[in-house]
């Protein structure tokens, strides 16, 4: 089955689920700067996947997937900081970090796939 929208991508679906979990985890925090940054990083991952795919250009899509990977790395850093501050449990941090690492690997695979395709000829969709 061919990809018709970014919503069909498993990496987008999983990163949305992770973003929702993170937003729920931190919604009551009083450490506003860290809370807001965690939410932003988590939300930017699927947002950039969608943004890049909708641009309908393999180069743009690849670039936005790399941005998404960067946001995902920021998220892992912030999760580690939150755990060290005692704001989330070691168990929750481990779960979030593992999912984030799997998403990163999926993003990298998608980037390789896009970049290994032959360039489109003029007039092709």
Helices (H) and strands (E) in the chain, counts: 4, 0
Domains of the chain by start residue, with CATH = 9-116 (1.20.1440.60)
Contact 61/53 with Cβ under 8 angstroms?
Answer: yes
pTM: 0.90
| C-beta of residue 85 within 8 angstroms of C-beta of residue 92 | no
pLDDT in tens, 64-102: 999 999 999 999 999 999 999 999 999 999 999 999 999
What pLDDT sits at residue 117?
84
> If you ran DSSP here, which 8-state letter would residue 9 be given?
-
């Amino acid at each position: 089955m061919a990809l018709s929208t970014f919503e069909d991508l498993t990496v987008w679906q999983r990163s949305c689920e992770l973003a929702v979990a993170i937003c729920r985890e931190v919604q009551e925090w009083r450490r506003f700067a860290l809370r807001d940054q965690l939410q932003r990083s988590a939300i930017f991952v699927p947002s950039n996947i969608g943004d890049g795919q909708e641009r309908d250009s393999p180069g743009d899509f690849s670039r936005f997937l790399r941005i998404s990977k960067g946001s995902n790395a920021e998220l892992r850093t912030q999760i580690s900081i939150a755990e060290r501050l005692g704001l989330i449990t070691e168990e929750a941090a481990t779960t979030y970090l593992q999912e984030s690492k799997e998403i990163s690997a999926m993003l990298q695979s998608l980037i390789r796939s896009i970049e290994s395709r032959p360039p489109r000829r003029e007039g092709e969709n």
